[in-house]
């Protein structure tokens, strides 16, 4: 079973991974922009992930056998790949929108929002390997941020 | 006069006790199932009956049972969800309080069908007095040979245990319920694996609502096909509705899903109309988490058809112009009620009951509550309404369990249908503190029946 290889297509890039791999780990194999950001998932910690919802992706085709798309966005860190699965990450408007929402929710009640934005965005950028990390230190937030500014900021990075 | 199946005997004196219940024909379904049927036949009858889950989602029960994994040597469990915490829903309490033996009887038959030798009732902590009623009923059933080893000489063993919750709404969600039953914090699990494969103590488990399990009794007694003849289309059988709010006669009613919403609210057989001669403004037809509907959309669908009290008709028009059957908590608002305050109350409830695992629900419910409080207190801005819309949209569908959706839907529906009332709260902040908007504005297309 475990030496079986499944074909999975993420953002139009196809890889072959062993059965039982999660979408997130498959995306990390591809690397680059394709990798969803992940905040509560640590590959070495069993049972981690699934909570923060930053890694949501859209499954536009369930598998070769059952091609129906999944109705909801799924947490890529906890969803295992199926043979022939097609996943949309940054090519899906829905995913980007939901991710911006989740990021905003995460920032919402943080006491030192400015510092946290920098850190959060850097974490997201690092894990999503969006090649944005270089830009991060340049960010400097004024003490009082309007929601619009934060949102614009988040959108500009996702 | 509508046909009653569950509450037919509810008013017989002392029906709570075994002797009376048995004399009135109780435990016939157990006799029939254990002596003349095999488990698959019982499941088949339930499938034929078209019974749909009464806990909220309306998933066909027979199908749910047939999904149960049956690996060798692993026990299976039946868990009855009696954690009824949804604001506006109190039908299960009524059932358990007045005819506890009906639930026990249904559980024995269902356990037989599922091959479960240990079954649990997970009951809401606030129903402390019902725990005693159930414990007594179980003891009586055991003394009379309906529970324990080798029931009625059939070779089937079954025992029932009652477990009290500690007052968390989220423990009504099936995976959170299982966690709580295992002794852990009631955090919903990430699905898959579904409980039918890996539930209580990693064994296959079926979680069903109290009313669903009770409905198995008439199905076995009368046969699935007979049962399916009651009701219309895919809404078979009878449904308990707990009606509350500004009604002349609030209470628990058993309906056969062929009556219209108008008849249910205004006829004397049911709720008897709106109290104090007021007019109907809005209604939540299925417990607090389903969308609210203004009076004109409640009685007629967007297509102009009469809206009936059944699964299909109530959800006609999707969320844009329809709602859901949900758990049957029918909450009626009259012309004097403030939708903003009402929505705030619900938002406060969901903020309090969110388990806090996932970010959209944990943060979003609190944010919505704050904004609604601000609007209700007359300090809101008109941008707050759009902001609320944006928040609910970002919560819905992005969470682990459906509580996130349940928190988002009422807010979405209130803004969708009552936006002018929210705006009025912003523009006439001072007046909003003393008087309510609407004043039957939404009740216009209706005639008040005497
Ligand atoms: C937040 C939340 C709370 C719920 N509370 C209840 C409840 O109090 N009682 C209940 O029967 N089902 C409740 N449910 C539905 C259950 O998850 C489950 O769908 C139901 O028990 C299945 O039973 P049924 O198939 O008989 O409807 C709740 C679901 C959610 C998401
Ligand atoms: S949606 Fe809310 S209640 Fe459900 S798991 Fe997430 S935080 Fe908990
Ligand atoms: S990394 Fe948090 S949900 Fe996947």
CB atoms within 10 A of CB B304: 6
Size of interface A-B (CB pairs under 8 A): 51
CB contact under 8 A, A102 and B190: no
Show which of residues 68-97 on chain A sit within 8 Å of chain B, judged by CB atoms: 72-73, 75, 78, 97
Contact list in A for residue B399 (CB cut-off 8 A) is 53
Residue B387 within any structural domain of the chain:
yes
The residue nearest atom 8 of ligand 1, judged by CA position, is: B84
Distance from CA of A4 to the nearest CA of B (A): 21
Q: Please report residues of A whose CB lies closer than 8 A to that of B393.
A: 101
Asked if residue B376 has its Cβ within 6 Å of ligand 1, the reply is no
> Is the pLDDT reported for residue A146 higher than 70?
no
* Closest ligand to Cα B326: 1
Is the CB of B187 inside a 6 Å radius of any atom of ligand 1? no
Residue B331's φ and ψ, nearest 5 degrees, are -110, 120
Q: Are B261 and B253 in contact (CB under 8 A)?
A: no
- Enumerate residues 6+ apart whose C-beta is below 8 A from B207: B79, B80, B81, B174, B177, B178, B195, B199
Q: Both B118 and B26 in a single domain?
A: yes
Q: What pLDDT shows up at residue B394?
A: 86
Q: Same domain, yes or no, for B420 and B324? A: no
Atom of ligand 1 nearest to the CA of B169: 3
Q: How many domains does chain B have?
A: 3
Reported as a pLDDT band with limits 50, 70 and 90, residue A115 is low
Distance of CA B27 to the CA centre of its chain: 25
Closest Cα in chain B to A98: B394
B300 in a domain, yes or no? yes
Of the candidates B190, B219, B188, B171, the one whose C-alpha atom is nearest the C-alpha of residue B60 is B219
> Looking at chain B, which residue has its C-alpha nearest residue A109?
B363
B35 and B178 share a domain? Answer: yes
Q: Does one domain contain both B276 and B308?
A: yes
- For helices B100-114 and B128-143, give the axis angle rounded to 10 degrees: 60
pLDDT of residue A142: 40
What integer pLDDT is reported at residue A143 of this predicted model?
A: 39
Tokens of A139: 């960010």
Are residues B137 and B279 located together in one domain of the fold?
no
| Atom of ligand 1 minimally distant from the CA of B83 | 8
Q: Determine phi and psi for B23, rounding to 5 degrees.
A: -65, -35
Helices B100-114 and B210-222 sit at what angle, rounded to 10 degrees?
A: 80
Is residue B361 located within the same domain as residue B384? Answer: yes
pLDDT of residue B349: 92
User: Which residues, including other chains, have CB under 8 Å from residue B122's CB and lie 6 or more apart?
Assistant: B79, B80, B81, B82, B83, B163, B165, B171, B177, B180, B181
Element (H, E) at B284: strand B280-284
Query: Would you call A38 exposed, middle or buried from its count of C-beta atoms within 10 A (0-12, 13-18, 19+)?
Result: buried
DSSP result, B317-377: THHHH----TT-EEEEEETT--HHHHHHHHHHHHHHH----SHHHHHHHHHHHHHHHHHHT
How large is the greatest C-alpha to C-alpha distance in chain B, in angstroms?
73
Say if B363 is an interface residue toward chain A (CB within 8 Å): yes
Choose one of B200, B229, B258: the last residue of a domain: B229
Contact residues, chain A, for B366 at CB < 8 Å: 109
Is B447 a domain residue?
no
Please say if the pLDDT value at position A1 is more than 80: no
Whether B400 has its CB under 8 Å from any CB of chain A: the answer is yes
Give yes or no for residue B173 CB within 6 A of ligand 1: yes
| Statement to judge: residues B297 and B374 lie in one domain | no
Contact flag B394-A51 (C-beta cutoff 8 Å): no
In terms of Cα–Cα distance, which of B317, B271, B262, B252 is closest to B295?
A: B262
Q: Which residues contact A37 (CB under 8 A, 6 or more apart)?
A: A54, A55, A99, A123, A124, A125, A127, A128
Kindly state whether A113 is in contact with chain B, defined as any CB-CB distance less than 8 angstroms. no
Interchain contact, B359 vs A52, CB within 8 Å: yes
- Last residue in a domain, options B190, B214, B229: B229
State how far the Cα of B169 lies from the Cα of B83, in Å rounded to an integer: 7
Which CATH number belongs to the domain containing residue B146 in this structure?
Answer: 3.40.50.11540
- Selected for mutation to probe chain B from A23, A52, A78, A105 (highest B CB count within 10 Å) is A105
Q: What is the pLDDT of residue B122?
A: 92
Q: pLDDT tens per residue, chain B (450 residues)?
A: 467 777 777 787 888 888 888 888 888 888 888 888 888 888 888 888 888 888 888 888 888 888 887 777 788 899 999 988 888 889 898 888 888 998 999 999 899 888 888 899 999 888 888 999 999 899 988 888 888 888 878 888 888 999 888 888 999 898 999 999 998 888 898 887 888 888 888 889 999 999 999 988 888 888 878 888 887 878 888 888 999 888 888 888 888 888 888 888 888 888 888 888 788 888 898 888 889 888 888 887 777 788 888 888 888 877 778 888 888 889 998 888 888 888 999 999 999 999 888 888 998 898 888 888 888 888 888 888 888 888 888 888 889 988 999 999 999 888 888 888 888 888 887 777 777 766 545 544 444 333
Residue B442 lies in a domain: no
E strand or H helix at A16: strand A13-18
For ligand 2, the distance from its centroid to the CA atom of residue B400, given in whole angstroms, is 6
Compare CB distances from B397 to A50, A72, A106 and report the shortest one's residue: A72
Q: Is residue B10 part of a domain?
A: no
pLDDT of residue B126: 87
Distance CA A142, CA B65 (A): 58
Answer yes or no: is B2 within a domain: no
- With contacts defined as CB-CB under 8 Å, which chain B residues touch A78? 190
Judge contact between B367 and B344, C-beta under 8 A: no
A128 pLDDT exceeds 80? no
The shortest CB-CB distance from B397 to any of A51, A73, A104 is to A73
Q: Three-class SS of residue B394?
A: helix
Looking at residue B208, its pLDDT comes to 92
CA B257 – CA B313 distance, rounded (Å): 10
Structure tokens at B146: 């309906």
Percent of chain A with pLDDT over 70: 66
- Please give the number of the atom of ligand 2 that sits closest to the Cα of B401: 4
pLDDT value of position A2: 54
φ, ψ of residue B82 to 5 degrees: the values are: -110, 30
pLDDT at A138: 32
Range of the domain at B316: 235-334
Per the CB < 8 A criterion, the answer to whether B294 and B417 are in contact is yes
Within this chain, do residues B224 and B79 fall inside the same structural domain, yes or no?
Answer: yes
pLDDT at residue B449 in the model: 37
Axis crossing angle, helix B339-353 with helix B359-376, rounded to the nearest 10: 150
A102 contacts in chain B (CB < 8 Å)? 359-360, 394, 398
- The CA distance from B208 to B206, in Å, is 6
Averaged over A113-141, what is the pLDDT?
46
- In the reported structure, the alpha carbon of residue A74 is separated from the centroid of ligand 3 by a whole-number distance in angstroms of 10
- Please report the ipTM that was assigned to this predicted complex: 0.74
- Indicate whether B105 and B145 sit together in one domain: yes
B394 touches chain A (CB under 8 A): yes
Q: What is residue B421's predicted lDDT score, i.e. its pLDDT? A: 84
Whole-number Å distance between alpha carbons of A132 and A118? 12
Instruction: For A147, name the nearest residue in chain B, comparing CA atoms only.
Output: B387
Is B259 close to ligand 1, i.e. is its CB under 6 Å away?
no
Residue B129 lies in a domain: yes
Nearest atom of ligand 3 to the alpha carbon of A52: 2
Q: What is the pLDDT of residues A61-111, one digit of tens each?
A: 888 888 888 888 888 888 888 888 888 888 888 887 788 788 778 776 665
Same domain, residue pair B63 and B136: yes
Q: Residues B260, B307: contact at Cβ < 8 Å?
A: yes
Tell me if B450 is assigned to some domain: no
Q: Do A52 and B364 touch (CB under 8 A)?
A: no
pLDDT value of position A112 = 53
Judge if the beta carbon of residue A49 lies within 6 A of ligand 3.
yes
For residue B132, give the H/E element and its range: helix B128-143
CA-wise closest residue to B353 among B28, B85, B65: B85
Same domain, B368 and B426: yes
In angstroms, the separation between the Cα of residue B398 and the nearest Cα of chain A is 7
Q: Let me know whether B284 and B138 are in one domain.
A: no
pTM across the whole model: 0.85
Contacts of B398 in chain A (CB under 8 A): 53, 56, 72-73, 98, 101-102
Contact criterion met (CB below 8 Å) for B371 and B416: no
Of the three residues B286, B317, B334, the one that is the final residue of a domain is B334
What is the C-alpha to C-alpha distance for residues A137 and A117, in angstroms, rounded to an integer? 11
Q: Which of residues 16-35 of A touch B (CB under 8 A)?
A: none
Of B394, B398, B400, the CB nearest to A50: B400
CA distance B284 to B293: 6
The enclosing domain of B317 has a CATH number of 3.10.20.600
| Residue A134 pLDDT greater than 60, yes or no | no
């Amino acid at each position: 079973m475990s030496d079986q290889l499944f074909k999975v297509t993420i953002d139009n890039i196809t890889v072959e991974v062993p059965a039982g791999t999660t979408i997130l780990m498959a995306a990390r194999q591809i690397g680059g922009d394709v990798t969803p950001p992940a905040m509560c998932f640590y590959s070495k910690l069993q049972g981690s992930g699934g909570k923060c919802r930053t890694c949501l992706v859209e499954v536009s085709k369930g598998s070769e056998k059952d091609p129906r798309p999944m109705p909801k966005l799924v947490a890529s860190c906890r969803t295992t790949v199926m043979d022939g699965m097609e996943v949309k990450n940054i090519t899906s408007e829905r995913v980007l929108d939901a991710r911006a929402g989740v990021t905003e929710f995460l920032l919402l009640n943080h006491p030192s929002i400015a510092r946290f934005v920098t850190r959060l965005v850097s974490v997201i950028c690092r894990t999503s390997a969006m090649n944005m990390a270089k830009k991060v230190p340049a960010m400097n937030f004024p003490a009082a941020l309007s929601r619009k500014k934060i949102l614009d900021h988040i959108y500009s990075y996702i | 006069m509508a046909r009653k199946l569950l509450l037919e005997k509810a008013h017989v004196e002392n029906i709570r006790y075994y002797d009376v219940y048995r004399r009135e024909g109780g435990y016939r379904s157990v006799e029939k199932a254990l002596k003349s049927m095999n488990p698959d036949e019982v499941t088949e009858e339930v499938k034929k009956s078209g019974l749909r889950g009464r806990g909220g989602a309306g998933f066909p029960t027979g199908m749910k049972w047939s999904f149960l994994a049956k690996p060798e040597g692993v026990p299976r469990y039946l868990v009855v969800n009696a954690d009824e915490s949804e604001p506006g829903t109190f039908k299960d309490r009524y059932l358990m309080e007045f005819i506890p033996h009906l639930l026990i009887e249904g559980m024995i038959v269902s356990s037989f069908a599922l091959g479960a030798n240990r079954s649990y009732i997970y009951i809401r902590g606030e129903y402390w007095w019902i725990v005693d009623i159930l414990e007594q009923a179980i003891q009586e059933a055991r003394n009379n040979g309906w529970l324990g080893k080798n029931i009625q000489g059939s070779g089937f063993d079954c025992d029932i245990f009652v477990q009290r919750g500690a007052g968390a709404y989220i423990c009504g969600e099936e995976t959170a319920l299982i966690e709580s039953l295992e002794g852990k914090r009631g955090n919903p699990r990430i699905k898959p694996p579904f409980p039918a494969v890996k539930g209580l103590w990693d064994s296959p488990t079926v979680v069903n609502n109290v009313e669903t399990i009770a409905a198995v009794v008439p199905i076995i007694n009368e046969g699935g096909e007979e049962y399916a003849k009651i009701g219309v289309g895919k809404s078979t059988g009878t449904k308990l509705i707990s009606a509350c709010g500004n009604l002349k006669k609030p209470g628990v009613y058993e309906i056969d899903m062929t009556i219209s919403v108008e008849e249910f609210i205004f006829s004397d057989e049911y709720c008897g109309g709106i109290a104090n001669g007021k007019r109907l403004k809005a209604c939540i037809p299925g417990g607090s988490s389903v969308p609210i509907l203004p009076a004109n959309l409640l009685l007629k669908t967007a297509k102009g058809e009469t809206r009936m009290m059944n699964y299909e008709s109530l959800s006609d028009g999707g969320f844009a112009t329809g709602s859901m059957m949900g758990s049957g908590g029918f909450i009626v608002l009259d012309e004097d009620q403030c939708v903003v305050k009402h929505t705030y109350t619900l938002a406060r409830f969901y903020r309090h009951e969110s388990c806090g695992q996932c970010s959209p629900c944990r943060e979003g419910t609190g944010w919505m509550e704050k904004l609604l409080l601000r609007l209700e207190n007359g300090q809101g801005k008109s941008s707050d309404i759009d902001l609320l819309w944006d928040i609910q949209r970002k919560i819905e569908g992005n969470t682990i369990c459906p509580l996130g959706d349940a928190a988002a839907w009422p807010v979405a529906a209130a803004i969708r249908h009552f936006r002018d009332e929210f705006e009025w709260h912003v523009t006439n902040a001072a007046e909003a503190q003393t008087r309510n908007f609407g004043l039957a504005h939404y009740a216009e297309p209706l005639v008040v029946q005497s």
